[in-house]
Chain A
């Protein structure tokens, strides 16, 4: 069955610390992968996406993610977090064939000033 799982449910960091959030997917065939962010009181917005090509994808606000096919992973990274990065982060995976898009459980990131 198609699934997306996120390892970390709640992460607390100090400002300027480095961030890595794990995401694993279980899909057959061609997969499209996304990271979305939900700031407090707002709806989800796209951080970055991977369809094909260069496995290292750069998104908005200094975020990047690396698609590692052999590990079925698409981890999100940021070298130095800011207090404004406090939010909930969701990994999502979709099938090119069906259009079905599944989300992981989400990771709450709290950045202490």
Chain B
């Protein structure tokens, strides 16, 4: 019963490097989300997707890109890492229940440090 799986759990990047945070879910959920969590700031929505082939910007999309080629996968790409992107990243998914957005199921998080 895997749920939402994120990799890697920890990563250190140098300024200007690029990387992809992987996220996959096995619950056949339509909705997927990427959040970043910073102390005192709560969770900020980076990007979200309501289904395969559909993505949309959240509150803080600059410096990130996403794709949703399958229902299961929702990778987050950092093209040119900056110190401001040091954070803990959470992927989440939910199933739309009728007209309502359902409960979010979270991955365990990915701690990224940019030096």
**Residues of A that sit less than 8 Å from B by CB:** 6, 9, 30, 32, 34, 36, 43-46, 49, 51-52, 90, 92, 94-96, 98-106
Q: Shortest distance in angstroms between A21's beta carbon and chain B's nearest beta carbon?
A: 13
Number of A-B contacts (CB under 8 A): 66
Chain A residues near B43 (CB-CB < 8 A): 44, 90, 92, 103, 106
Q: Which of B57-105 contact A (CB under 8 A)?
A: 58-59, 90, 94, 96-97, 99-101, 103-104
- B33 close to A101 (CB less than 8 A): yes
Q: Which of B1-54 contact A (CB under 8 A)?
A: 31, 33, 35, 40-45, 48, 50
Nearest-neighbor residue (CB-CB) of A49 within chain B: B103
Nearest-neighbor residue (CB-CB) of A5 within chain B: B42
Chain A residues near B99 (CB-CB < 8 A): 30, 96
Q: Shortest distance in angstroms between A97's beta carbon and chain B's nearest beta carbon?
A: 8
Chain B residues near A6 (CB-CB < 8 A): 42
Interface-centre pick from B44, B45, B90 (highest chain A CB count, 10 A): B45
User: In the complex, A104→B40 CA distance in Å?
Assistant: 10
Q: Shortest distance in angstroms between B109's beta carbon and chain A's nearest beta carbon?
A: 6
- A99 close to B42 (CB less than 8 A): no
Chain A residues near B58 (CB-CB < 8 A): 100
